[in-house]
Amino acid sequence: MIDWLHPSFLFLLGAVLVALLPARIRMAAAVLVPLAAFFVIVNLPLGNGLQYQLFGFDLTLLRVDKLSKAFGYVFTINAFAAGIFALHLKTRVEPVAALTYIGASIGAVFAGDLISLYLFWEVMAIASTFLILARGTERSYQSAFRYVMIHLLGGLMLLAGILLQIKATGSVAFDPFAIRDLPTYLILIGFLVNAAAPPLSAWLSDAYPEATVTGGVVLTAYTTKTAVYTLIRGFAGWEILMVVGCVMALYGIIYAILENDMRRILAYSIINQVGFMVTGVGIGTAMALNGAVAHAFCHIIYKALLWMSAGAVLQLTGKSKCTDLGGLYKTMPLTLIFGCIGALAISSFPGFSGYTSKPMIIEAGVHGGFYWVWLVLELASAGVFLHAGIKFPYFVFFAKDSGMRPGEAPPHMLVAMAFLSFICIFLGVYPQPLYAILPFEVNFHPYTFEHTLNQLQLLMFSALAFFMFLPMLKRTETISIDSDWFYRKGGQLFFTAADKLFNSINAQAEKLVAVELTAQVSRFFKQPGFLIQRQGVRLLAAVSGNRQQAEQMEAWLDARNRSGAYPIGIWVLLAVSILGIMSLLYLLIR
């Protein structure tokens, strides 16, 4: 078709259109743009396109291969579903920010060089911040501020790495990094910040749950998965990523279990799921990378589905904490069913999409002979069912009767959820279309009897553990300290310390200079002649020891001062002696 049409351009055009169109047809544009972009990506010819020159470097806006296309497909499919889910929106900010954000992330995926990548990367950070700000609460403002600060920090790391890399190699190419030194590690850290790898992961669980209902659905897909894409592109086979990924997988589970807010539970489970993908990148074989791409694809779909069902609950009840929710199955059965499909898919339950993608990563680890990777990922698989597969639907839709009877989600939300549910089941039973778009040839069969049986055992006995230990999992009205403590409490601490230190210096200085010194000076200048003379008399008295005479002199000085009687002779004498001293000084210095 048209090989110069960049899919991001459609999104940016859509953002402008949405800003101009009247409210009634505004959201139609937000649905049609991803659809158009999807067909553009389908028809993009493989190879590089849209090359341009900037700062004397040859840059490439369109690098089309199977890897970038796979992410392009799922990004546009998810944007389409999110557009339907958000059809009720009357505001401008959210759709404009969402389209810009999605467009930038697609731009980052198709960027063929480091500089283009960096430019799109920063647009993503800024645009996504508005999806959090749009909530309009005090909490969301603060959270959005922390969110954008961390992303700017990550962006600076990335920029520093890119500049050093260009200086070292003279090339802006974004290809697998071979040399492990400072520039590439800085780039890696920049990517890992967006992938929400601990310790710089708290931005995700801090900010996403504070976003708007529809903003949360959009946010879950793009930032972390663009980071996964860049890791696959640049850092496949870096063993350190296996460790990072396994830590993420476990970290997400533990925090999700401690959490009370349903959308924060789902936010932590993003970190857990991205952990699987990062581990796959670390293993770095063809099968592992296929697994990482496939899992990113499936994850985007089922995680958006889960956020939609949680979003529908939040939209209708205004509540988000498990302790406030419960018993919603009575009036929201369809939302429950769609939410459960998402929950089963994330748990990689046989028959749902997670089961055709995640085991690929685990099997690649087994092929690589990494026993501990297998152990951690199997353990994490059991944990996923625990925290996202059962905990989320159980506490929101069952557990206890909260007394709320909100009714079913609005039709457009149900349609969006039904669409994503269909993809979850379709790819669960017939994964071949997904396998066909993966970067390498797929030689993987999830549905052997033994493997399916093992997985079902693992999951169902995890469920048994959940219900047996239910009293220990009861939700409490608490939050858990995460690594954002360092900049939230640390920030407060810094402020308090700075306040105490600098303001106390300031107060002391004010007391000394402004209050006491000026008072002294003004007292002195009321009667300067008298005060000097009296001081002189006192000095003489201290030397001679004749206190009586001194007191007489002082009384006389005081009387003369009161009456203002200073004979002219004294002034003349003073003037002449000062002149004398000055001429003497002049002669001496000369």
Binding site for other proteins (CB under 8 A): 253-254, 257-258, 329-331, 333, 366, 371, 374, 378-379, 382-383, 385-386, 398, 405-408, 450, 453-466, 469, 472-473, 476-482, 488-489
> Of the two residues 230 and 347, which places its CB atom closer to other proteins in the complex?
347
Smallest distance from other proteins to CB 260, Å: 8
Smallest distance from other proteins to CB 335, Å: 12
In this structure, the dihedral spanned by the alpha carbons of residues 206, 209, 210 and 215, taken in order and rounded to 10 degrees, is: 120
- For CA atoms 419, 263, 357, 434, give the dihedral sign: positive
Residue 181 parent element (H or E): none
Smallest distance from other proteins to CB 373, Å: 11
Q: 584: burial class by Cβ within 10 Å (0-12, 13-18, 19+)?
A: exposed
Nearest-angstrom CA–CA distance, 234 and 190: 12
Smallest distance from other proteins to CB 442, Å: 20
Beta bridge partners of 261: 321
Smallest distance from other proteins to CB 84, Å: 22
> CA geometry: angle at 361 spanning 78 and 208, to 5°?
40
> Of the two residues 429 and 481, which places its CB atom closer to other proteins in the complex?
481
> Of the two residues 57 and 398, which places its CB atom closer to other proteins in the complex?
398
> Of the two residues 295 and 387, which places its CB atom closer to other proteins in the complex?
387
Three-state secondary structure call for residue 566: coil
Q: Length of the chain in residues, anyone?
A: 590
Smallest distance from other proteins to CB 159, Å: 30
> Of the two residues 103 and 275, which places its CB atom closer to other proteins in the complex?
275
Smallest distance from other proteins to CB 413, Å: 15
Residue 62 has what DSSP assignment? E
Smallest distance from other proteins to CB 164, Å: 36
CB 105 within 8 Å of CB 68: no
Token digits of residue 35: 């659809």
Smallest distance from other proteins to CB 474, Å: 11
Smallest distance from other proteins to CB 88, Å: 17
Smallest distance from other proteins to CB 478, Å: 4
CB 214 within 8 Å of CB 410: no
Nearest-angstrom CA–CA distance, 209 and 196: 15
CB 280 within 8 Å of CB 288: yes
Are β-strands 57-64 and 47-54 bridged in parallel, bridged antiparallel, or unpaired? antiparallel
Smallest distance from other proteins to CB 218, Å: 26
Smallest distance from other proteins to CB 503, Å: 23
> Of the two residues 162 and 258, which places its CB atom closer to other proteins in the complex?
258
Nearest-angstrom CA–CA distance, 510 and 77: 64
Beta-strand runs (E) in 85-217: none
> Of the two residues 47 and 199, which places its CB atom closer to other proteins in the complex?
199
> Of the two residues 160 and 257, which places its CB atom closer to other proteins in the complex?
257
Residue pointed to by tokens 């920049």: 190
Three-state secondary structure call for residue 476: coil
Amino acid in the structure at residue 392 = F
CB 282 within 8 Å of CB 237: yes
Smallest distance from other proteins to CB 469, Å: 5
> Which CA distances in Å does 210 have to 132, 395, 479?
6, 20, 14
Nearest-angstrom CA–CA distance, 343 and 346: 5
Amino acid in the structure at residue 524 = F
> Of the two residues 284 and 365, which places its CB atom closer to other proteins in the complex?
365
> Of the two residues 408 and 554, which places its CB atom closer to other proteins in the complex?
408
Token digits of residue 156: 């600076």
> Of the two residues 48 and 480, which places its CB atom closer to other proteins in the complex?
480
Three-state secondary structure call for residue 507: helix
Token digits of residue 44: 């993009």
Q: 541: burial class by Cβ within 10 Å (0-12, 13-18, 19+)?
A: middle
Amino acid in the structure at residue 220 = T
> Of the two residues 189 and 463, which places its CB atom closer to other proteins in the complex?
463
> Of the two residues 178 and 450, which places its CB atom closer to other proteins in the complex?
450
Amino acid in the structure at residue 242 = M
Q: Spell out the residues 6+ positions from residue 144 whose beta carbon is closer than 8 angstroms to its own.
A: 129, 132, 133, 207, 210
Within 10 angstroms of residue 476's Cβ, the number of other Cβ atoms is 9
Nearest-angstrom CA–CA distance, 429 and 417: 18
> Of the two residues 122 and 408, which places its CB atom closer to other proteins in the complex?
408
Token digits of residue 198: 């601990």
> Of the two residues 228 and 362, which places its CB atom closer to other proteins in the complex?
362
Three-state secondary structure call for residue 352: coil
Smallest distance from other proteins to CB 488, Å: 5
